[in-house]
């Protein structure tokens, strides 16, 4: 509630006209966003011996905004965004001892059994222009500007190796974890702390708000990234230059890059559904 109180104070307390749906000039919106990414799967441990690649990797985030109607066409808003990010989806690389030479190490593929989510918090400003309706309902376009931050003390990841595929479906795959295999490993790793990355994102909005009652409206929209700037390791980078990291590492530099790539994913092209409450 404290976020809503702060945002309500910051927003304009007056309107430039008598606009607004049924006279409502203020609304609160809860938004659910799913970024569109390549078909990657999350891993799921069924039991001690069976592993399944399941569910499309939906990169879901949430936003709560307080919005104010300024006139027949214009609405602005302030809000808070939250993304519980998954850094690694399924297949990763880990460094293990070389069985032929215990004094050396080599990379091998592993399956993630469980991994702590990394929270990304952001402060959001939005602008909406309703050309085919009366603000804040009907078809519209706009922009969202967000400044976000992720900070992690440490990251625990459980993984296993030595699996063999048993079922190879179009959307799911099943694996048998062979604990007698020569390359079998079932282990946990804690990545070093003090991980952090910040973001500045501008996205375009195309959508429509459909009133379903006097107090409730459904907002359906598409978000299009215009600018995504990531700040990590004392550097500022355009998001497209940040590549995916699949290696578990003791390097804070590399793990910050993994966080930055996750922020990039969660701020890509996305479908959104929101619920507006007209005050």
Task: Report residue 272's pLDDT band, with 50, 70 and 90 as the boundaries.
Answer: very high
Mean pLDDT of 214-222: 95
pLDDT score recorded for residue 59? 81
- How confident is the prediction for the chain on average, in pLDDT? 82
Task: Report residue 14's pLDDT band, with 50, 70 and 90 as the boundaries.
Answer: very low
What CATH number should be reported for the domain holding residue 137? 2.40.160.20
Please check whether residue 233 lies inside any domain of the structure.
yes
Q: Is the pLDDT of residue 194 over 80?
A: no
Please check whether residue 53 lies inside any domain of the structure.
no
* For the ranges 48-52, 79-83, 152-156, 166-170, the one whose mean pLDDT is highest: 79-83
Please check whether residue 89 lies inside any domain of the structure.
yes
Range of the domain at 274: 2-37+58-100+114-156+196-278
Please check whether residue 190 lies inside any domain of the structure.
no
Please check whether residue 206 lies inside any domain of the structure.
yes
Q: Residue 130: name the closest of 61, 50, 210 by CA.
A: 210
Report the number of distinct structural domains present in the chain: 1
Please check whether residue 123 lies inside any domain of the structure.
yes
pLDDT score recorded for residue 56? 61
Higher pLDDT: 9 or 89? It is 89
Please check whether residue 171 lies inside any domain of the structure.
no
- Cα angle for residues 241, 243, 248 (degrees, 5° grid): 145
pLDDT score recorded for residue 164? 79
Please check whether residue 186 lies inside any domain of the structure.
no
Residue 77 φ/ψ, nearest 5 degrees = -160, 160
pLDDT tens by residue, 72-87: 899 999 999 999 988 7
pLDDT tens by residue, 236-263: 989 888 877 777 777 788 788 888 888 9
């Amino acid at each position: 509630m404290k976020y809503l109180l702060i945002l309500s104070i910051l927003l304009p307390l007056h309107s430039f006209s008598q606009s607004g749906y049924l006279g409502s000039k203020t609304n609160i919106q809860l938004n659910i966003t799913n970024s569109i990414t390549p078909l990657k799967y999350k891993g799921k441990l069924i039991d001690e011996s069976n592993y399944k690649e399941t569910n499309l990797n939906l990169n879901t985030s949430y936003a709560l905004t307080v919005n104010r109607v300024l006139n027949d066409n214009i609405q602005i808003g302030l809000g808070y965004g939250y993304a519980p990010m998954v850094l690694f989806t399924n297949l990763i690389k880990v460094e293990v001892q070389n069985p032929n030479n215990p004094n050396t190490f080599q990379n091998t593929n592993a399956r993630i059994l469980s991994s702590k989510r990394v929270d990304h918090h952001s402060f959001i400003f939005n602008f909406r222009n309703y050309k085919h309706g009366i603000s804040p309902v009907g078809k519209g376009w706009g922009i969202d500007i967000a400044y976000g931050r992720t900070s992690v003390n440490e990251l625990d990841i459980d993984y296993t190796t030595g699996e063999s595929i048993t079922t190879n479906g179009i959307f799911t795959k099943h694996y048998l974890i062979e604990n007698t295999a020569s390359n079998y490993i079932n282990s946990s790793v804690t990545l070093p702390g003090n991980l952090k990355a910040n973001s500045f994102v501008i996205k375009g909005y195309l959508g429509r708000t459909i009133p379903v009652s006097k107090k409730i409206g459904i907002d359906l929209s598409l978000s299009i990234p215009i600018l995504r700037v990531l700040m990590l390791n004392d550097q500022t980078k355009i998001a497209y230059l940040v590549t995916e990291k699949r290696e578990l590492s003791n390097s804070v530099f590399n793990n910050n890059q993994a966080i930055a790539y996750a922020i990039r994913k969660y701020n890509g092209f996305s479908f959104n559904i929101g619920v507006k409450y007209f005050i």
